Structure 1
């Protein structure tokens, strides 16, 4: 059974595990420095990290931004040793149910087998792909922006509110006005 536990900025053992998975799973252009992740966790009430566990064994994490009308899922990763066992689907489904509101996330364009499989994974969970052009701003001046797509879950018409959603993600998550 998947357990979802909130992570606090002073939980060093959980953060050490998460940092390892985070840096292993996401290339530099797709992540911020981990010191910045911990700072956000300490200082920003909108930002949260959930540690995913099977019994007492950590298996992954989800970082997200929770607002009144939707949640932005920033990073989601399962430990490479645990992938393919259904943990990812169970964890995301449980967190979406726990949060009880629409969600939005970024995905790579379906240009290779891995990116197509990721999109299909989220579609099986009920996410809908928007193919409107979307640019992820760089996390820092030494990183690059990325051309991605957004996916949405739940009672949100992303095509109708696309510009407002992008503006909020860009300003609150990436600090771009």
Structure 2
């Protein structure tokens, strides 16, 4: 599979990737397009297309900080779900670099959420049991209560607080 990092929205596959992003994540979990276009040029942000035979397989939208990688959004094209592409994309991502990885998941209160958590656990992620507030992406919305999953080891509440303090101001514009 080929990885292409976009730094702006001019790539011929951006619209297809953006449609996948909008289909895969509810409004409260996704960045508005103008904000997305702005953040794509940031040196620590990676809007990554995963292609096979020049077709979009999925997207990995992540932040690469000195101490951690934060996988903000990850999705496989709907027609390819359940065929092992997601696992391959995620394992490839994990094996690229030795830095730990964090990602957010909804609490395991529904079957879909439990399946998502199990998918990440099967790839080596640990579900951390302290709750976590994701700041809103849209004005007027409330923060989301989520859990952080971490790879390769669990993290403490203190480590979560450090991640929030150091990186949320950039990721979620909480420092603006």
Q: Give TM-score, length-normalised by structure 2.
A: 0.92
Please name the residue that 1:51 is paired with.
49
Q: Does residue 1:25 correspond to 2:32, yes or no? A: no
After superposition, the C-alpha distances for 1:143-163 in whole angstroms (9 at most, x for unaligned) are 331110000012x55115121
TM-superposed CA distance for 1:55, in Å, is: 2.6
Please name the residue that 1:173 is paired with.
171
Please name the residue that 2:89 is paired with.
91
Please name the residue that 1:73 is paired with.
71
CA distance in 2, matches of 1:79, 1:45: 26
- In structure 1, runs of 5+ residues without a counterpart are none
CA contact (8 A) 2:126 2:154 kept: no
Q: Give TM-score, length-normalised by structure 1.
A: 0.92
TM-superposed CA distance for 1:142, in Å, is: 3.2
CA contact (8 A) 2:20 2:75 kept: yes
CA distance in 2, matches of 1:150, 1:129: 7
Query: How many residue pairs get matched?
Result: 174
- In structure 2, runs of 5+ residues without a counterpart are none
* Secondary structure class of the residue paired with 1:110: coil
Please name the residue that 1:105 is paired with.
103
CA distance in 2, matches of 1:53, 1:162: 33
TM-superposed CA distance for 1:133, in Å, is: 1.5
Superposed CA RMSD: 1.5
